[in-house]
Every structure is written in C-alpha cells, then in structure tokens.
Structure 1
Amino acid sequence: MPNATHLSLNITKLCREACLKEALHILTTYNLPVKYSTYLHLLQANIDKKAISEGKQIYSHNGDVCTFTPQTFLQNTLINMYAKCGNLVDAHKVFNHMTQPDIFSWNMIIAAYKRHGFPQDALKLFQQMQQTVVQPDHFTFSCIISLCASVASLNHGLKVHGKTVRCGFQSHVIVMNTLIDMYAKCGRMQKARELFAKMPNADVVSWNAMITGYAQDGFVEKALEVFKQMQLGIVKSNAATFACVLPACVKMGVLGQGMEIHEDIIERGLLSDVVVVTALIDMYAKCESVEKAQVLFDKMTERNVVSWNAMISGYVENGLVDKAFEFFKQMQLAGVKVNSATFAIMLPACAKMRSLEHGTQIHQNIMKSGFLSEVVLNALLNMYSKCGKIQTAQKLFDKMPQRNVVSWNAMVTGYALNGNLKESLSLFKEMPQRNVVTWNAMITGHAQNGLTEKALEFFKQMHLAGVKPNLATFASVLPACAQMGAFEQGMEIHQKIIESRCLSDVVVNALIDMYAKCGSIHKAHQLFNKRHHPGIISWNTMIAGYAMHGYSKEAVKLFEILEHSGTSPDHISFICVLFACSHGGLVHYGCKFFNCMSDSYGITPTIDHYVCMVDLLGRAGYLMETLNFIIKMPTKPDAVVWKCLLGVCRSYKHLSLGEYVVTLLFELEPKEAAPYVLLSNIYAEAGMWVDTQKVRKLIKNSRIKKVPGCSWIEGHKMLHAFCVGDRLHP
C-alpha cells in the first residue's frame, strides 16, 4: 500500500496533466491524508474545469482525514473555486462558516460579487468588513473603487477615497489609478486631474487612465494633449496607450495626428499587437480613409472577431453598406464566429442607410445563429423603425418577453422619426420608467418635426422631473434654440452645460452654431478661439456663422486658415465658403474654391455646391453665364437650382429668362407655390398687373397653398410664435 508522500506526488502529477478524474480516484480509494499542497493542486484543477461537485468531495475528504491543513487558506481556495464556477451561494456559505476570515477571504468574496454583477452586495460586504479587525489592503480598495466606477456611484467613491487616505494609501499607485478611473467615469475629470498631478510615481496605467477619461467624457482635445505630455516624459507608452488615444483621433477627425501615432506604433514594434492594429483600422476607417484600414487589415497575421467588426464598422461609417455586407459574408466564410457586437454594428448600418433589404437579411442571419439577445432585439426595433417599417417594429415589440427602457425608447424614437408624434407621446406616457434617452427622444423628435417650441417645453419638463441632461440632450436642444433664435434660453442652457461639465466637442459645436444663428457672432467666435484643435465641424460652423452675418471676407480668411491647419476641408466646408462668397459678391474667390474642390481635394461637387455657384454668378449679375453653367452641369439640375436662378431673375428684373425658368419649374414641381409667387412678383415689379392677376388666379384655382411664414419673439423668458393669419397675439 503506498504511503501518503507517494500518493501526494502521484495526485499532484495527475493534476498538472489535467487528469482530475484519475487524481480523485486515487484520493478516495486509499483515503489517506495527503500533503496540504496536494489539496491546493486538486482544488485548482477543479477551478480550471469548473467541477464544483468534485471540489466539495475534496474539501470533505480534507475534513475527514486531515487535522493539520491550515483551514483558512483551504477555505479561501474553496471560495475562489465556487466563485470562479459561478456558484456565489456556496462561496458565501463557506465564507460564513469561517471562524476568522482574513484579508484574502474578504477580498475573494467581495471580488466574486463584483465580478458576477452584484455591486450592491459587494459594497455591503465592504461595510461589514470595516466592522471587523481586518483592515482593507490595496486590493480591497482597488476592487471597491473600480466597482464604484462601473456603477458611476460618486457618493460611495468619495467615501472610499476618504478611507484610503485614513488608511495611508494616498500614494499607492494602484489605488490612485483606480481612483483616477473612478472620477473619470463619474464625470469628475477635474478631480481626476488633481489626483494625477499629485502622484509622485505615476506609471503608464495612470497616464492611460487620464487619456481614456478625457476621451470618454468627450474632452478629446484634452486626451490628445495628455498623450503629447506623456510622450515628452519618462513614462513610455504601451499598447494600451495607443488603444486609448486612437479613438480620440477618431472623435476629433484629426487623421494627421492619427498617422503620426501610427509612426510611433511602428517605431515601438507594436504592429503585431492585434488590439493596437484593430484600433488603427478603426481610426483610419472612421477618418474617411477606409482604403488604408483595408491595407492594415490585409497585412494582419492574426485577426479576431473584433478586427473584423472594426472593418465592417468602418465601411458602415463611410456609407458603404454594400461593402460592409460583403465583408460580413467574407467573415462567415473565413470561419470567424460572429458575435452580438457584429449584429449590433450591422443593424444600425441598415438603419442609417434605410436599407430594409439588408436589414431583413441580417434578421434572418440572427434567427439562424440564435443571437436574439435583448441588445440585438432592440437594434432590430431601431432598424425597422428607421426603415419606415414601424408596424413591423411594433409586432416585434409586442412579442418581446421582456422589455427594458431601451426597447421602449426605440419605439418612442421610431414613432417620432416617422412623424407620428401622437403615438410617440402615447408610448412616452405609458412607459413604466424613463431615462435621459427617453427625454432626448422626445426633444429630438419634436425638434426634427419642426415643433421647436414643444422641444424646449420637453427640456423644461425633463428638468422638473429631476432627470439630469447629458451630452445628447444639449446637442438636441441647442439646435432648437438656434432655429427659433431663442438667445436668452440658449444662454441659460449654456450655463447648465457648464454646471453639468458637458462641454464636449459636439456640444461646443452646437453652442457655436446657436450663438451664430441667434445673432451673437462675437460669442460664437470666442468659443471657437478657445478650441486648441478644432475639428472640421467646428471650422464649418464658424465659417457658416460668418457667412450668415455677412462677414464674407472673414469667412474666406478662416477657410484659408483651415486649409493650412492640418485638417482638410470637406464638402460642407466648401458649401459654407461658397455661400459666403455668393453673399459677399466674391466671384473670383468662389470660382477658385469651386475649382480646387476636385483639383486639390478630390471632392466631387454635389447639387448643393452647384446651387451656391448659381447664386454666386447670378447675384453678381452674370445671368446668361449662370444659365450656361446650369446647362453644362454633369447632373440634371433639380428644382432648387432653377428656383435659385428664378430668384436672381426677379432681383435683376429679367422677365424673359424668369418666364423660361418658371416653365421648367412647373414641370418639375407643379404643386409647389414658390415659382408661382416669384413669377407673380416679377410681373408686379414690371408693372404687368394683368399677368400678375392671371398667376394669382391660377394659384387659387389650382388650390396651391403657400406655407405661411412664422417668426418668434423672445421676451420675459417666454417665447412667442407669430404666424401669418393667426389671431393669438393682439
């Protein structure tokens, strides 16, 4: 019969070879006490195989035949085994039976509850721990602080921070890093910055936490600034740093800086890291350089589902849904197993492009693969709603076994997008619970359907309901203020933004636009000048603001600064600067910019650019040249182009050309009132009253309705709407 030492060696060897069944057979057959370390090997083997019943058997054997095994350590291992096998009930039972749980026992049970998504239970355990003699260590604090970060519980986080100071952990780098992360995720970047500045031994994790914090909170300029500071210091960036900073380049749309970072990655020899290369692919694709993203993807020796998803997402971002769908099929042929994230990328793509055909095919794929999770179902609701199939979305919604707030929000938003605000409001009132997204849907829905007063009213109701607005709220409500010229309300919202620490890039751009459209170009200019690295949207908004207020030369000057800033102008930039040139009579500059669109930037002019050029040439009095320009257009001119020329004919009293243009417009838009009204005005200004009456009679007999004009006046913090023919205001 073998002795205990021989048994221990054999069992340990079998455990290392992952032969758990054979090891257990030897243990139970001879029923001899084995070495303490052997029990640990057995339990670790159970953890690896998630074999709970065998673990119980081992622990029972130890209690029956051994009297010398340190029970606390063994119980800790058992807690660890149960926790990693997902059995929190038995893990807690073992913990409760411990006579003297040590710091490892507390850390394991707290970490187990945190890992399995029970944050409140983990916090309660931490409170119980503080009533014992066991003092928390750096692991305990890191675990609890990261838990506060994951649920964005600032109050708990502040209390734990105080405890770390009292326990002397205010300089512990791991604890400080988790505190920085917690404050960042709770929207307190100023506090995170203060802690970071006081750290005597900040490491790469500290720097990464600051970069990620700024980027996630919408302060992407700050994120890039911190990255640059890091490059100048002694702490070397790692793969995680690049994975943190590249998304900031995406949000800023600064391809130049992204390319510089790419060069750093090459120098560091990190192009073999799948996470880093995936982040590069994502950056290039979302910065409108999908070809470079494809080259990187093709060169990858190792690809995972995230890499494929990044490429698909890139094609989606660039509006190439057909290519994204093709790539999706290639991914399946390559044997890469799609995940819920793949469908979560594809479905919004179909929704964005209003591609019902692709969306229906994706739905069929989902049914085959069995990925009909709550997240995917909600994405399907969104896709069908945005593709105009609101009834299909409603049927899916009705069949859902469980509906969360996201499901309700998808339907509320869907009805609003389809112009059915009555049904949207009905669902809004019916909702069991609402969140900030719900309120945002109502604000955006009413604003996009032209009911800007109602949108502002919902914003006020949201405030009264105690719901804290977020970045999306401000990005939705500011355009409503801009559209109505509600300057005072816009300023009040600006103050709320400052108080809420929501001055992200999107919100700052919306503020610049609001101030410009409300007549305060000076305030818009101040906000723009405070931006260290303005993105293309900021440039476009400011150029448009100058153009709107007649500062054509300033708009042209700003456009020329943009050209030398490292950020390339896009098609909207050219619309803004051409609009400025047309309203300022800057024909030479306008023609120059129009020509350099395709010659210097490879941008094909759209119908909007042609309309700007028609307006530019027409306003300058070159009417026949304008007509020739329209005739030579590579695409068929639409009604907007001809309306623009008709407006110019009226300004220059060119009767014959005006009549010719109107005949074309009658064919294109026979029920549109504007051409008739303009022709009537041309006749009236030429003193041709008989013809004027004929046109007006034609409008009346054809039952063509002119949309009544509407304006708003703000006074005493109230907004009053005045429409033609109303009798609401004396």
Structure 2
Amino acid sequence: MLQGQKVVLSLYRPSTTSFCGRALPSCHSLQSCRRDALHLLDEMPPPDFRTCNERIRYCTSNHDHQASLALFRWMLGARLRPDSFALAAVIKSATASLLVTGQPEAVHGFALKAGYAAFAAVQKTIIDMYARFGALGDSCRVFGEMDKRDSVAWNVLLTGYIRAGLHKDAMSLFCSMHACGVEEVKPTAITFAVILPLISKLNLLKNGQNVHGYAIKLGLEAGTLVGNALVSMYAKCDSVVDDAHKVFSLISSKDVVSWNSLIAGCSQCGLFAEAFKLFSQMVSTDLLPNETTIVSILPICAFMEDGWHSGKEFHCYILRHGLDMDLSVWNALLMHYSKVGHMERAECIFSRLDMPDLVTWNSMIAGYATNGWISKALDLFQLLLFSGIKPDSVTLVSVLPLCAQHHDLNGGKKIHGYVFRHNLLCQETSLENTIVDLYGKCGKLEDALQTFKSIKKKDIVSWNTMLSAYVDNERVEKFVNLLNQMNHQGIQPDCITILTVLRATILYGIRKVREAHAYSFRCGFVSHTNVGNAILDAYAKCGSTEDAQRTFSNLTGKNVITGNTMISGYLKNGCLDSAKMVFRQMFEKDNTTWNLMVKVYAHSDRRDLAFVLFHHLQSEGMRPDSLSIMSILPACACLASPHLVRQCHGYVIRNYLYDTHLEGALLDSYAKCGSIIDAYKLFQTSPSRDLVTFTAMVGGYAMHGLADEAIRVFSDMLEANVKPDHVIMTALLSACGHAGLTDEGWRLFKSMIQLHDIRPTMEHYACMVDLLARRGRLREAYEFILNLPCEANANVWGTLLGACKIHKEVEIGRLVADKLFHIEAENIGNYVVMSNIYAADGRWEGVEQVRRLMKEKDLKKPAGCSWLEVGLKRHVFVAGDLSHPQRTIIYGTLITLDKLMKESLKSTSI
C-alpha cells in the first residue's frame, strides 16, 4: 500500500519544466490534479501491521536499513505492533546503521517490555548486536537463556568470538558445538565458512584437516561455500599442491571465489606458473575474472619472464571488461608497474585517480623508493601530508629508510616527532625499529639507544636493529655489551643476529670470525644457507681464502649465492684462477655470477674476455640487468668507445632498466669516452636527478677541464636541496685545479667543513696540493702537506712530485721523492719522474743515483701504450712496436707535425 501511495503521488507530482517537449498544463489544471490526488489518498485504507512487517523485513534483507528503521518508527507512532521477525530485522538494521552505539541494552530492554525477548529470531539478533559492540558477556548470557539453540545461534556467537579476536575461545566454542550431539546444532556450511578462515589465520593445518574430515562426514565438502573455505584454508597453510588442488577438483559448482582462492594460494606459495595456468583455465570457462582475481594475479607478473608485458595485457583486459571502477584494481596495477620499474606508467595511473586512498599513496611512495627515485618519494610524502590523509605505519616505514639513505637526520626527526604525537603509531614495534635504524645509519647512537629503550614490545628485530647500528658505526664494545644483555634476558638469537655477529667479528680479525663460526655451528645455524654464505664472506674479507675454501667444501645446501660469495671472495683477494674454477663448476648461474666475472675482466687487462662473457651471458638465455650494464661499461670506457656506450644506453632504454646508479655510470662513461655532449644530454633528460647523477656530471666536466660548467651544475644541485658528499667535492676541487681557479678551490675546500659538514680525506688534500702546485706555489703546497692533521699518503706526495717536474723544482722534488721512495719503494714511476727532474736541471749525478736505485730494486719501466677508435675500429699503439699496417703513413704524419710545432715555437720565440 505504501508503494502504491508513492506511485500515485509520483503520477500527480507537478514539474517546473517542459516534459518530453510538451507544454506544461495550466495553473487551473494543476490545482485540479492536486484535488484528485488528495481525494484518492482519503479513500485509501490505512496500512495494516502485516504489510509493515513484510516491508521492514524486505528493507533489511536488501540492506536498506534507514528505510527499515523509519518504517519501524512510523509503526510505533501509529500504535501498530510489529511481530518478532520484524523486530529482529529492525535490531539487525539498527546494529548495521550503528544507531545504537553505546546503548544496545536499550534495544534489549524494548524487546523485553514488548514481550519478544523469548523469541528465537529476536534472541539471535540481540546476541549478534551485543557481539558487534564488544559485549560478548551479554551475548553469552542471552545465548544461555535460549530454550532451543540451533545452528544459527551457535554460528552467530562463534562469529562474535572471531570478530573480537578471541581465537582460542572460538575454537573451544566450535568443539562444544561439535560435541553437543543435537541434530539441530550440527555445523552447517556457514559454520565451516566461519571457522576455516580462523584456522588458516592461526596456521593450524592439522586442525583444518580434522575439520575437513568432519565436513566429509556431513557431506558438505563438495558444496561451493565449504569447498571455497577449504581451498583457501589449505592455500594459506602452504598446502596448495596436494590438498587445495584436490578439494578444488571436488567442488561441484565452482564459482569465481573458488578460482580466486586457488590462484591466490599459488601466488602466496610462489607457484607463479601454476597461478598463471589456473588463470588461463578460468578464462577458458564461462566464468569471467573479477576484481579480486586481478588483484591476486597482477602482483606475480613482476616475477615472471616478460612480466612487464603480461602486466600490460592485464591492463588492457581491465579496461576492456570495465574493471577499472574498483580502486583496488588500480592499486594493484600501480604496484605492478612499480615492481617492474615502469614508474612513468605508475605516475600516469596515479595522476588519473580522483580519490586515491592511503594504499595508493603508500604504493606510489614505495615504488619511487624501490626504484631509486628518492627525491620524488620524499616530495610525494609531503603532498600526502598536505592532502589531509593521515599516513600510517606502512607509509612511514617506506619513508624513513629514504631519510637514512640520504642521511637526512632532520627529516627523520620530524617523522619521529609525528610518531611521538600519535599514540597508535607509538605502539607499532616495526615503526619504532625503523626509527632505531635511521638513527643508527645517521651515526646518532644515543638517539637510537633511547628509542630502542622506549619500545614497549621489543621483538628480535628490535635487538637486531640496535646491534646492527653498533656494528655499522664500529662501536664493538657497546655491541658486545648489548649482546650480553640480550643473552641475560633469555632472548634467543636468530639468523639475523648471527649475521650481525659475523659482521662485527670482521672488525676484530680472523680469530673472532672462527669463534663466531664455531658458535653458529653449535647453535645449528650453519645449516642455514645465508649464515653459511656470511661465514664464507667473513673469511674472505679477512683474507683467509683457505678457511673460506674449507668451509665451502663442507657446506650442505649450497645455492647460487654460495658460489657467488666464493667467487667474490676470491676476486677480492686476487685469486682470479680460483674464481674461474668455481665459476666453471657452478651448475646454476644467475646474473650476479656473470656480472662478477664480467666486472673483474672489465677492470683487468683482459677486457676482451669481459665482452666475450657478456655475449655468452645472453647466449645462455639470460637478460643483462642494470648491474650487467654497469659491469661492462668500464671496459667500454677504457676502450674510449662512445659507440659501445651508446649500444649499452640503447639496451637500457629498450628494457626499461632505469636506475640512478646506472644512469650515473652511463654519464661517466660518455665523459670518459670524450663525448661530454652526450653526457649532458643524458643529464638533462634525467627524470630524477639525485646525488649520483649530479656527481657524475660534475666529474665529467672536471675530466674535460670545464670547471665553470662543473661549478654551475654544483650550484644547481645545492638549489635542489641535494646534500653533497666527499666524492662530488673531490671532483669539484680537481676541476678547479685543472682550470687554475685557486681562489674558488680554496672557497670550496673551506665550505666542506663549514657548510656541508664533510671531513676532508686524502683525496681532497691531494686536490688542494695539485691546486697550489699547478700555479707554481710549490713551497706553499709542501708546507700544506707538512701541516696536515694526519700523515700524507703516496697519492698526495706523488701529486707534488709531478708538479715539481713541470716547474723544474729540484730541491723540493728531492725532498718529496725521498718520502715516496720510503712509502712505496716498488713504484717505478716515482724514480722515473725524479730522474727526469734531475736531467732537466743537468744534474747527471742525480740521474745516475736514481738509476742505480732502480737497478738495485730490479725495477723496469713498462712500455707505454695508447689507443683510439676510428670508424668503429680500435687502433692500439705500443712504444717501440712497428706492427701497425699503416705505420708508414702514421709515423710520417707524426714527423711532419713535430717539425711544424718546432717551427711554430721558433717563430714565436723570435
């Protein structure tokens, strides 16, 4: 009847505009319509309580809770009595609408006064209402007062316990329901759908198998609802291959949830190929994947070969089938593109979202951070704060490591202050651990320790993080004290603790490494592959390849990382032949294995083998990654071949291998090959310039003697709020030295300590000596070295000796040479330079004395070598070698040029 009234009213509702192109009726006609409508309403019989009861139940079942409650209020005003089922529906609507927050007792009291409290339907809704408002004691009391408890009542109470997080009580209640033995209380499909997710959450596989057996006895295992819950339970308990697949095959009527459960389980267990196969089978059926399917399958694309291509196909599928209305799908796409390093597409998706949620922001920030776009990640975090969305622990855990990586202590402290002002964040142990790590990496150990002590619920990660902070800062005594404190409190170390201990023992030497090895063996940690690999690495770093080889031979469960660690250790200690042997014996090789060998050849005199290995890597069906390109680039630079560098650059672009360190390596290689223009073009097109990129560009300009350009780029970097480090300062000082900008060099040297808090190293001192010496201020440079706060090394003295040769300064040169002959007696270059200084001044007795020293030490000067690339062909020239096929033309041209230069000098002097 109510619906009929609405229809009548809608028919006679006047409009203020034209309707379907027709003119509106006159004012007289409208008044006539109103009179007719009122006449019809007067003639309608009033709605009875049965109609209202049915309407209330209908509204509640269709989740129109506001309409259900409004109709109930109207019934009370009209003094119409609802029946027990209608009252049960009203209580359900009130609970769903949160209209009884804080006063569920009032609803219960109304039911008692109205005489409905003994009705089973009302009692069940009251049990559910109390449970939803955290009053499980009242739920149990009402449950106990029921005369006849059926399965629905048990299911309602069971759901309340699970929702409240009382997992043990929920399991006990389920056991009581099972042991009841009453026919009406037998578990239903709903019961299994409620209890099985709890079992999977607690990872109780044995209990899940028992419940599965009970479901088989009741004949419910083939039902869609129970079957889906069983598949999901087995998948989350890591029993996909056997149990989940078997249950899935027995489901009589599979729906989308069935397929999604198995696909998600395969994805969770790392069975990516199987998940893709299931997805293909699902598409081949009449069922179409939904948003949940896409969210389950997209994350694994990044781990598959050509995963970025698969992600694009899923993106097209989403658009074709209209699945782009769900924000979770966009979030999954955004995370996929971030994982495959395609941040441009991720940015495009993010910019098109009208209402991004916190998951969206977190995914984008984490994507920037993972792909090395540090400054963009921090900028996006600032935008998040301005947007009004409050960051959560996931956001801050993504941002804090960036502050640690940038040594941005002020930014980290601001985030710590934000956490301190929000009590819920202070309770997040993982977030507090990240703050400890930040302070540790920034060298603020007192702040790290204070934060560590303030953690209320310390876990093993908390202890490991603080221990790691001490090791990173080489505070070994404090590390030992904290480790003893951890033992006294009965906290059992894990693999990460042992790995940290091994890092600490490297600072002590080989003896402590052996002790840590023995301790790991006694505790049973050596069987863990990562610990065994760390022991190998520790022995190698202490120079004991024998211990490393012995450990390597005795290790069980070797993997690719074990072989890589051994190769890396041999290479660090100059054992190239042993590294080759391990490389040949490895049955399985990954990109790291090949990269290690390519890198060692690229830095040796066998650069041709580096290219051979690089091609062999690809012939084995492997795709070079960022490290592969960075490993081969030094060989390209040593050959001074811009063509090879461009080939590497093209490969990087085609395969989306964006990485700031790789970009810096490419830029540096272009510069070393003499192509500073290509280097600057790459610098200009960089989407995210950070310290690595700026350093490479400054170094390139310095290499080419373009000091003004180097200083300009450095100024741009400071304006971009990028903090300099000791490497870029070395490049700047070198550029000033080559360009003769003495005053500018001194200004930059002083700004290191005063403005940038950088302690000068020997490289900086060598640059300052070169800066002074190139301007002929040799005495000042010599006194500068003598007044250094530490003993100068061979590099510093060698710089001054070279300047003495240029300026023909014998006395200072002799003093410097004596220092060098003592520091590095086997370096023939120093003897040759000093001999040339004596010869230029006509001091032949000095020349004879230096040559006598060289003969006594059996030092021989190696033949000079140079090369250049012409028309993609490399030409090598060695002193005294006449094997080049065009030697006649080349040397004839050189003689002609030599004569022209001499004639030019004569004419200039006249």
TM-score w.r.t. structure 1 length?
Answer: 0.86
User: Mapping of 1:523-602 within 5 angstroms?
Assistant: 523-530=678-685, 534-556=689-711, 558-559=713-714, 566-602=721-757
Q: Secondary structure at the match of 1:174?
A: helix
Give the equivalent residue in structure 2 for 1:101: 254
Q: Aligned partners of 1:422, 1:156: CA distance in 2, in Å? A: 42
Q: State how many pairs are aligned.
A: 727
Q: Please, which moves more after superposition, 430-439 or 273-282?
A: 273-282
* Structure 1 residue 385 corresponds to structure 2 residue 540: yes
* Structure 1 residue 656 corresponds to structure 2 residue 811: yes
Q: Please, which moves more after superposition, 8-17 or 202-211?
A: 8-17
Pairing partner for 1:128 from 266, 277, 281: 281
Pairing partner for 1:78 from 220, 230, 234: 230
Distance 1:251 1:674, change over 3 A: same
Q: Please, which moves more after superposition, 50-59 or 430-439?
A: 50-59
Q: Secondary structure at the match of 1:434?
A: coil
Q: Aligned partners of 1:480, 1:354: CA distance in 2, in Å? A: 36
Pairing partner for 1:607 from 753, 762, 766: 762
Q: 8 Å contact 2:266–2:274 — kept in the other structure?
A: yes
Q: Aligned partners of 1:43, 1:462: CA distance in 2, in Å? A: 48
Q: 8 Å contact 1:681–1:692 — kept in the other structure?
A: yes
Q: Please, which moves more after superposition, 71-80 or 28-37?
A: 28-37
* Structure 1 residue 113 corresponds to structure 2 residue 113: no
Mark the runs of 5 or more structure 1 residues left unpaired by the alignment.
none
Give the equivalent residue in structure 2 for 1:675: 830
Q: Aligned partners of 1:550, 1:370: CA distance in 2, in Å? A: 58
Give the equivalent residue in structure 2 for 1:139: 292
Pairing partner for 1:446 from 593, 601, 613: 601
> CA-to-partner distance for each residue in 1:630-680, whole Å, 9 max, x for gaps?
333332333333333332332332323333333333333333322321221
Q: Aligned partners of 1:448, 1:289: CA distance in 2, in Å? A: 37
Deviation at 1:327, TM superposition (A): 4.9
Deviation at 1:609, TM superposition (A): 2.9
Give the equivalent residue in structure 2 for 1:198: 352
User: Mapping of 1:326-475 within 5 angstroms?
Assistant: 327-344=482-499, 347=502, 355-371=509-525, 372-449=527-604, 451-475=606-630
Q: 8 Å contact 1:252–1:535 — kept in the other structure?
A: no
Deviation at 1:185, TM superposition (A): 1.6
Give the equivalent residue in structure 2 for 1:90: 243
Deviation at 1:586, TM superposition (A): 3.2
Deviation at 1:173, TM superposition (A): 0.9
> CA-to-partner distance for each residue in 1:688-725, whole Å, 9 max, x for gaps?
33542443344234311234433232234344444445
> CA-to-partner distance for each residue in 1:435-461, whole Å, 9 max, x for gaps?
211221112222344544433443344
Q: 8 Å contact 2:221–2:227 — kept in the other structure?
A: no
Mark the runs of 5 or more structure 2 residues left unpaired by the alignment.
1-145, 886-910
Give the equivalent residue in structure 2 for 1:34: 185
Q: Please, which moves more after superposition, 541-550 or 32-41?
A: 32-41
Q: Aligned partners of 1:524, 1:563: CA distance in 2, in Å? A: 20
**Residue identity in the other structure for 2:805:** R
Q: Secondary structure at the match of 1:711?
A: strand
Pairing partner for 2:343 from 183, 189, 192: 189
Q: Aligned partners of 2:614, 2:327: CA distance in 1, in Å? A: 43
Distance 1:74 1:34, change over 3 A: farther
Q: Aligned partners of 1:208, 1:48: CA distance in 2, in Å? A: 25
Q: 8 Å contact 1:33–1:62 — kept in the other structure?
A: no
Pairing partner for 1:278 from 433, 440, 447: 433
> CA-to-partner distance for each residue in 1:33-57, whole Å, 9 max, x for gaps?
6242556666567556655565555
Q: 8 Å contact 1:421–1:446 — kept in the other structure?
A: no
> CA-to-partner distance for each residue in 1:11-61, whole Å, 9 max, x for gaps?
978997548689658846847562425566665675566555655555555
Q: What do you get for the CA RMSD once the two structures are aligned?
A: 3.9
Q: Percent identity?
A: 32
Give the equivalent residue in structure 1 for 2:637: 482
Determine which structure has more spread, i.e. the larger CA radius of gyration.
Answer: 2
* Structure 1 residue 247 corresponds to structure 2 residue 401: yes
**Residue identity in the other structure for 2:230:** L
Q: Secondary structure at the match of 2:868?
A: strand
Give the equivalent residue in structure 1 for 2:24: none
Q: 8 Å contact 1:544–1:576 — kept in the other structure?
A: yes
Q: 8 Å contact 2:150–2:184 — kept in the other structure?
A: no
Deviation at 1:506, TM superposition (A): 0.7
Q: 8 Å contact 2:440–2:470 — kept in the other structure?
A: yes
Q: Aligned partners of 1:447, 1:323: CA distance in 2, in Å? A: 41
Q: 8 Å contact 1:215–1:248 — kept in the other structure?
A: yes
Q: Aligned partners of 1:532, 1:71: CA distance in 2, in Å? A: 54
Deviation at 1:116, TM superposition (A): 2.6
Give the equivalent residue in structure 1 for 2:392: 238
Q: 8 Å contact 2:679–2:697 — kept in the other structure?
A: yes
Q: 8 Å contact 1:146–1:181 — kept in the other structure?
A: yes
**Residue identity in the other structure for 2:401:** P
Q: 8 Å contact 1:419–1:449 — kept in the other structure?
A: no
Q: Please, which moves more after superposition, 322-331 or 462-471?
A: 322-331
Distance 1:447 1:262, change over 3 A: farther
Deviation at 1:151, TM superposition (A): 4.3
Q: Aligned partners of 1:253, 1:488: CA distance in 2, in Å? A: 38
Q: Secondary structure at the match of 1:469?
A: coil
Pairing partner for 2:842 from 665, 687, 693: 687
Q: Aligned partners of 1:215, 1:629: CA distance in 2, in Å? A: 43
Q: 8 Å contact 1:253–1:535 — kept in the other structure?
A: no
> CA-to-partner distance for each residue in 1:559-582, whole Å, 9 max, x for gaps?
556556534433334433333333
**Residue identity in the other structure for 1:227:** F
Higher relative contact order (CA 8 A, sep 6+): 1
Q: Secondary structure at the match of 1:209?
A: helix
**Residue identity in the other structure for 2:228:** N
Q: Secondary structure at the match of 2:185?
A: coil
Q: 8 Å contact 1:416–1:424 — kept in the other structure?
A: yes
Q: Please, which moves more after superposition, 384-393 or 137-146?
A: 384-393
Distance 1:655 1:261, change over 3 A: same
Q: 8 Å contact 1:220–1:505 — kept in the other structure?
A: no
Q: 8 Å contact 1:683–1:689 — kept in the other structure?
A: yes
Pairing partner for 1:209 from 354, 359, 363: 363
Q: Please, which moves more after superposition, 458-467 or 650-659?
A: 458-467
Give the equivalent residue in structure 2 for 1:171: 325
Give the equivalent residue in structure 2 for 1:227: 381
Distance 1:464 1:578, change over 3 A: same
